[in-house]
């Protein structure tokens, strides 16, 4: 299973095109369901993650923060002020989930039948790569600016 995920994410990397050339990307494909792009709020406190969930047959991309990051609520509220502009730049309506403990700002999930089926696999990888790029474009600079201001 670990090898399967590594191959899936390697293929994702092959088609991934990030507009932000300064965005660090993982040095090796992960061996699990999630891939992480760290965001500039310091000490690995926030990241954009692309994921596949074979059990629910869904894939997606989200931004989240560590539960222990004390500035996450303030940053979430600042991002909410730019919600319309952020969603316009990404090209989709995002889910803005915040239960006071954990925050997830996510693109709509994409369903699939079987990631071993090449058309399904390619469709999911294309969606994840495009949404990863769009999420990084929308959030990376904003997060950097906000983290300097608060």
Other CB atoms within 10 A of residue 99 CB: 7
Distance of CA 44 to the CA centre of its chain: 14
Task: Please state, in angstroms and rounded to a whole number, the distance separating the CA atoms of residues 119 and 57.
Answer: 14
Task: Please state, in angstroms and rounded to a whole number, the distance separating the CA atoms of residues 71 and 114.
Answer: 39
Task: Please state, in angstroms and rounded to a whole number, the distance separating the CA atoms of residues 1 and 140.
Answer: 32
Which structure tokens are listed for 104? 């997830």
Task: Please state, in angstroms and rounded to a whole number, the distance separating the CA atoms of residues 71 and 64.
Answer: 12
Tens place of pLDDT for every residue, the chain, 150 residues?
899 999 999 999 999 999 999 999 999 999 999 999 999 887 789 999 999 999 999 999 999 999 889 999 999 999 999 999 999 999 999 999 999 889 999 999 999 999 999 999 999 999 999 999 999 999 999 999 998 888
pTM: 0.95
């Amino acid at each position: 299973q670990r090898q399967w995920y590594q191959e899936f994410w390697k293929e994702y990397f092959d088609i991934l095109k990030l507009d932000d050339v300064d965005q660090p990307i993982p040095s090796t494909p992960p061996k699990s369901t999630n891939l992480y792009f760290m965001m500039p709020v310091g000490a690995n406190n926030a990241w954009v993650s692309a994921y596949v969930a074979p059990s629910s047959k869904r894939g997606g991309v989200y931004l989240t923060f560590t539960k222990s990051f004390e500035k996450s609520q303030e940053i979430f509220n600042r991002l909410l002020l730019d919600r319309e502009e952020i969603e316009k730049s990404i090209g989709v309506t995002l889910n803005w989930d915040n239960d006071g403990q954990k925050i997830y700002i996510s693109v709509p999930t994409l369903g699939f039948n079987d990631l071993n089926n090449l058309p399904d696999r390619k469709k999911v990888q294309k969606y994840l790569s495009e949404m990863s790029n769009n999420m990084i474009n929308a959030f990376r600079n904003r997060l950097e600016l906000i983290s300097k201001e608060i």
